[in-house]
Amino acid sequence: MEEHQYRDIWNHGQICRLNYTVREKAEDEDAEISKYANVYVPYDYDEKKKYPVLYLIHGGGGNPDAWLDSSRIKNALDASFAAGRCAPFLVVLPTFYNHEPIRTGRVDEQAERGHVLGFMQELRQNLIPAVDAAYSTIADRSGRAIGGFSMGGVTTWFAFLNNLDQFECFMPLSGDCWQFGGLGGGKETVKTVDYLCARISEQGFAPQDFRILAATGDKDIAYPNLNPQIEEMKKRTDAFNCSDDPTRGNLHYVVMENGYHRYEEGYQYVYHFMPYLF
């Protein structure tokens, strides 16, 4: 796996704030909530050009600043584009929370799953339209990828299940599919993969219409649940064509040796996959 080494870059991208609103159903009426996403805009951004967009989701308890505060993701983007590793793209860093999460020191799997499921509608009805209106984007699924770390990886799997018409590439990092409850990729492996397979055709797509770039570490707390899910997916060759070459097939899986559950590892996965997202 290719890893990023920090270095000074003259050509810095910008971090901009995109404000948008969503409607949340309350007990008596709908409430309008103001939210924001951070948007990484590459150096030399030109409104006359069309750019792909990566939607990159934080982990549990995070916010739109989490990736920027906890990793060197911005330098990895600046360095990759400056070196020509890949063509420049925009990166949208939103949050799936509508309110500040309650921090108890433990994961409330049911609550976290609810936040992520609620975000699926917001993603397609509010956030994507706001991004396409504010920036010069390739405004179809061929120009969109979604990925995330930990609960952001869980979010990515739910996007695959519900928004396959909005994204062509999916990058779940250290997070399994929670369709059938928390840690479902490990606890309900066969049932989970059955559902992943079914949802491809139910949404009107075929195996050649998407790509999944997944990663975790062998010391990561997510490994015992993501790894069995991926191994089961590899068996379903009618839906998933796994290849060690990320330019071939529709499923590519990386396990970092001695990799733990940290943004430091997460951003390295993003760096590794950057040339293959679009």
Task: Give the SS3 label for residue 40.
Answer: strand
Q: Is the pTM here over 0.95, yes or no?
A: yes
Q: Are 278 and 270 in contact, with CB atoms under 8 Å apart?
A: no
Task: Give the SS3 label for residue 2.
Answer: coil
For range 86-94, the mean pLDDT: 98
In a domain, 8, yes or no: no
Burial code of 129-152, b = ≥16 C-beta within 10 A, e = fewer? ebbbeebebbbebebbbbbbbbbb
Tokens standing for residue 28: 């008596």
The pLDDT-based confidence of 99 (bands split at 50, 70, 90) is confident
* 28, pLDDT greater than 60: no
Mean pLDDT of all residues belonging to the chain: 96
Tokens standing for residue 278: 């679009």
Place of tokens 């909530």: 33
Residue 104 pLDDT = 66
In a domain, 9, yes or no: no
In a domain, 2, yes or no: no
In a domain, 197, yes or no: yes
Residue 26 pLDDT = 60
For residues 29 and 172, which has the higher predicted lDDT (pLDDT)? 172
Distance CA 207, CA 272 (A): 23
In a domain, 5, yes or no: no
- Could you list the residue range(s) of the whole structural domain that residue 206 is in? 14-276
In a domain, 163, yes or no: yes
**Which one, of 67, 68, 74, lies nearest residue 7 by Cα?**
74
Number of domains present in the structure of the chain = 1
Residue 100 pLDDT = 81
Residue 134 pLDDT = 98
Q: What CATH number should be reported for the domain holding residue 82?
A: 3.40.50.1820
* 257, pLDDT greater than 90: yes
Distance CA 1, CA 3 (A): 6
What do you get for the CA distance between the two ends of the chain, in Å? 18
Give me the helices (H) in the chain, please: 66-70, 73-83, 109-122, 128-134, 151-162, 184-187, 189-202, 223-235, 263-273
